[in-house]
Structure 1
């Protein structure tokens, strides 16, 4: 073993007790955090898998203009999601696992109240935008925005309660919700396809229904902390102090990956946005894998885990999977297989302009 081995083992075992035997508490703690890490990565895999499969399947099932409108609406939703995450979800990971852990249910109730006020406002705004698009003759965008008026509040609700499981250090509960969401969303989309009702609006409506039901599964699984009322003013003050800079950072982080979906339709039509979305689907596994790893320091360090060894492993291995994935994808065979994978059980739709690459 290297020279660092004694230090490593001294970190995961406790000092000997009065009988001279080493207490295994630190070693048990290591395995406990490893188990939680496994559930966190599995949850992120389910979350990423549902979005990835839905995007790929919708690219095949919808007309190019409809898929382009869906892509534009989803990019707008992601901007809304960055604001929602900065205001409520991200601070909850810190305060929910610390200051309000003993009164988490009361704290969560306050956050859910703020969420629904935000969601109603967003839903009304999207409904008005849908009416304006319809009046302007933009049928595809009108349908997408109408679906988003229902989907945005429900999906953001799922995001909020799903991360609540992380604040309570129970990522396994989030896995249950993720699996339920995946089954419901893809199942509903498949049924709509078979009955001839699948379009950009119904795809988002099925997302809304699946998200709400999955959120209820997650919300009522963990019963940690008391229902003691939490002062909304205190929560508002703490969250605003935390999130005022996160809002700016979140908005700026949205721009590089999403601004093109808004710009392309203005110059080249919704089909161009569909082409870009179909290509970007290939990068989704990388982004969500890194997201799964990034959740450990933000959530579990907020709970005071103190496991510096696991954070060191994360820092030393941040690019192993993405590097391997990109290495395979950038080979000629990887490019061909990747574009063929966009259509799963068939060839790439020629209307997306990718057939020559496959």
Structure 2
């Protein structure tokens, strides 16, 4: 087993006190505000710039990526958050490396589902960019969860600002230039996620796990992630099935109206998701420390 390494110098990674929990909560909610705010702005810009049919197609493809991200969250990032919270800096780096490797395996599903979705909507020219956007998003999400597992709440904001505020700025430029086509939009999403991932690779300093460690991580991820996978799939499929049914009967322009409503509802995400990003590693860390 790895020996505990020197703890990070950031206050974010110190044992929790009342004050540190408040600070973590503040930075965690601030980070989620960046994430949700970037997504909200992106959708509002596209809703106003794209024709209804094309925006409906974007919403459907984006929903597929949300479904795939739910699979990735259950199998990769949730187990990483739980296991990494009680680990040393070196252990988190190795877990992050293993998480990236598992992400590559899960990526096969992302490729297959993206191809099917694009074929169903007859937008095969979007498939390559959609696949790249989905894989880049999952890669960046793995790295940001490694930072959150180590309670590096302030550090994670840098990459998230590049990814989510960057994508909003990118689609704004596309809209201004009247180039807001589906391939261009997904290219922007892919590019900002890759830039953010590059920053967070440096922040995490990930390490490749040893063979035995990786096998153990895969088994652990499946053991604790399978039930989360089931609940994620049920919730997301129920939500995303509606616009696909609407599209089947009334076309993608009608689905665009549903997406516009979801844009408004998404304003509640910073509190709900921000607390989730703090509570999961905090509870896991407390359990490792012997608290009940």
Q: Counterpart in 2 of 1:67?
A: 55
Q: For structure 2, which runs of at least 5 residues remain unmatched after alignment?
A: 1-14
Deviation of 1:256 after TM superposition, in Å, equals: 3.7
Deviation of 1:188 after TM superposition, in Å, equals: 2.0
1:212 is the counterpart of 2:171: no
SS of the residue corresponding to residue 220 of structure 1 reads: helix
Deviation of 1:29 after TM superposition, in Å, equals: 2.2
Residue of 27, 33, 53 corresponding to 1:39: 27
* Gap change, CA 1:228 and 1:112, over 3 Å in 2: closer
CA contact (8 A) 2:64 2:117 kept: no
Deviation of 1:99 after TM superposition, in Å, equals: 4.9
Q: How many residues align?
A: 275
Alignment of 1:6-85 (within 5 A): 29-85=17-73
Q: Counterpart in 2 of 1:289?
A: 271
CA contact (8 A) 1:70 1:144 kept: no
SS of the residue corresponding to residue 178 of structure 2 reads: coil
Deviation of 1:180 after TM superposition, in Å, equals: 1.4
- Whichever of the two has the greater Rg, that structure is 1
Larger helix share, 1 or 2: 2
Q: Counterpart in 2 of 1:199?
A: 181
Runs of 4+ in 1 over 6 A off after TM superposition: none
User: How far, CA to CA, are the matches of 1:262 and 1:100 in structure 2?
Assistant: 45
User: How far, CA to CA, are the matches of 1:96 and 1:160 in structure 2?
Assistant: 12
CA contact (8 A) 2:46 2:175 kept: no
User: How far, CA to CA, are the matches of 1:97 and 1:144 in structure 2?
Assistant: 38
* Gap change, CA 1:305 and 1:128, over 3 Å in 2: closer
Deviation of 1:144 after TM superposition, in Å, equals: 4.7
Alignment of 1:144-159 (within 5 A): 144-159=126-141
Q: For structure 1, which runs of at least 5 residues remain unmatched after alignment?
A: 1-26, 308-358
User: How far, CA to CA, are the matches of 2:203 and 2:278 in structure 1?
Assistant: 21
Q: Counterpart in 2 of 1:266?
A: 248
1:142 is the counterpart of 2:124: yes
User: How far, CA to CA, are the matches of 2:250 and 2:136 in structure 1?
Assistant: 32
SS of the residue corresponding to residue 304 of structure 1 reads: helix
RMSD: 2.6
Deviation of 1:72 after TM superposition, in Å, equals: 0.5
Which digits, 9 at most, give the CA deviation of each residue in 1:95-123, with x for residues without a partner?
A: 11125654221221111012123225522
Deviation of 1:125 after TM superposition, in Å, equals: 4.7
User: How far, CA to CA, are the matches of 1:146 and 1:78 in structure 2?
Assistant: 17
User: How far, CA to CA, are the matches of 1:79 and 1:124 in structure 2?
Assistant: 13
CA contact (8 A) 2:146 2:204 kept: no
Deviation of 1:127 after TM superposition, in Å, equals: 3.5
Residue of 207, 223, 231 corresponding to 1:249: 231
CA contact (8 A) 2:37 2:165 kept: no
CA contact (8 A) 2:247 2:255 kept: yes
Q: Counterpart in 1 of 2:164?
A: 182
TM-score for both structures, normalised by structure 1: 0.70
CA contact (8 A) 1:185 1:210 kept: yes
- Structure scoring higher RCO (CA < 8 A, sep ≥ 6) equals 2
